[in-house]
């Protein structure tokens, strides 16, 4: 108990005469004029302590709200980073097919100069593109 402060209410109630209303210890020696200021003093002390607790609770809640906002922000950042990693780990679609119709031939091609005798030369003639087996 703090020095200079009266004892809490609980220690002084019920010490009076049996059947009487709750009273302070030694109620017979205290007048009503003395009881009222003492009760007011205790109420002021209680009010001060209550206000201190309210302030402390409000500060804690504010701290929790700030921490909650910070955690929300971090979670958002982590979620974006996770989505990026997931996208990077996904197999990429195959590249579009190359137009291979020109390159895919059922039969090989050759240039036909129209001469079967190689000794005659083919200068001045345009070759004809042919496929084997046609």
Q: Name the pTM for this structure.
A: 0.39
- 133 found inside a domain: no
pLDDT over 60 (residue 4): no
Token digits of residue 78:
């982590």
- Please, is 113 exposed, middle or buried when counting C-beta atoms within 10 Å of its C-beta (0-12, 13-18, 19+)? middle
Both tokens assigned to 113:
């100069």
Is 81 a member of any domain?
A: yes
Residues in the chain: 134
Task: Give residue 59's domain range.
Answer: 33-91
- 28, part of any domain: no
Does 115 fall in a domain?
Answer: no
Q: Is the confidence at residue 129, as pLDDT, over 90? A: no
pLDDT digits (tens, 9 = 90+) for 8-53: 544 444 444 444 445 555 445 778 888 999 999 999 999 999 999 9
pLDDT at site 10: 46
Residue 44 forms part of a structural domain: yes
- CA–CA distance, 15 with 26 (Å, rounded to integer): 8
pLDDT for 49-97, tens place per residue?
999 999 999 999 999 999 999 999 999 999 999 999 999 998 888 877 7
Dump pLDDT digits (tens) for 89-124: 988 888 777 665 555 556 666 666 665 555 555 555
How open is the CA angle 80-81-83, to the nearest 5 degrees? Answer: 65
In whole angstroms, how far apart are CA 31 and each of 14, 26, 74, 118? 17, 10, 64, 145
Please, are residues 128 and 111 in contact by the beta-carbon 8 Å criterion?
Answer: yes
User: Is residue 103 in a domain?
Assistant: no
SS3 6: coil
């Amino acid at each position: 108990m703090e020095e200079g402060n009266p004892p809490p209410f609980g220690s002084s109630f019920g010490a009076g005469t049996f059947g009487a209303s709750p009273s302070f210890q030694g109620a017979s020696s205290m007048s009503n004029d003395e009881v009222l200021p003492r009760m007011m003093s205790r109420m002021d002390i209680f009010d001060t302590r209550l206000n201190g607790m309210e302030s402390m609770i409000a500060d804690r809640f504010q701290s929790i709200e700030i921490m909650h906002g910070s955690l929300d922000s971090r979670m958002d950042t982590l979620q974006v980073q996770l989505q990026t990693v997931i996208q990077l780990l996904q197999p990429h679609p195959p590249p579009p097919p190359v137009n291979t119709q020109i390159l895919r031939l059922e039969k090989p091609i050759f240039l036909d100069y129209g001469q079967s005798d190689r000794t005659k030369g083919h200068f001045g003639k345009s070759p004809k593109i042919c496929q084997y087996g046609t």
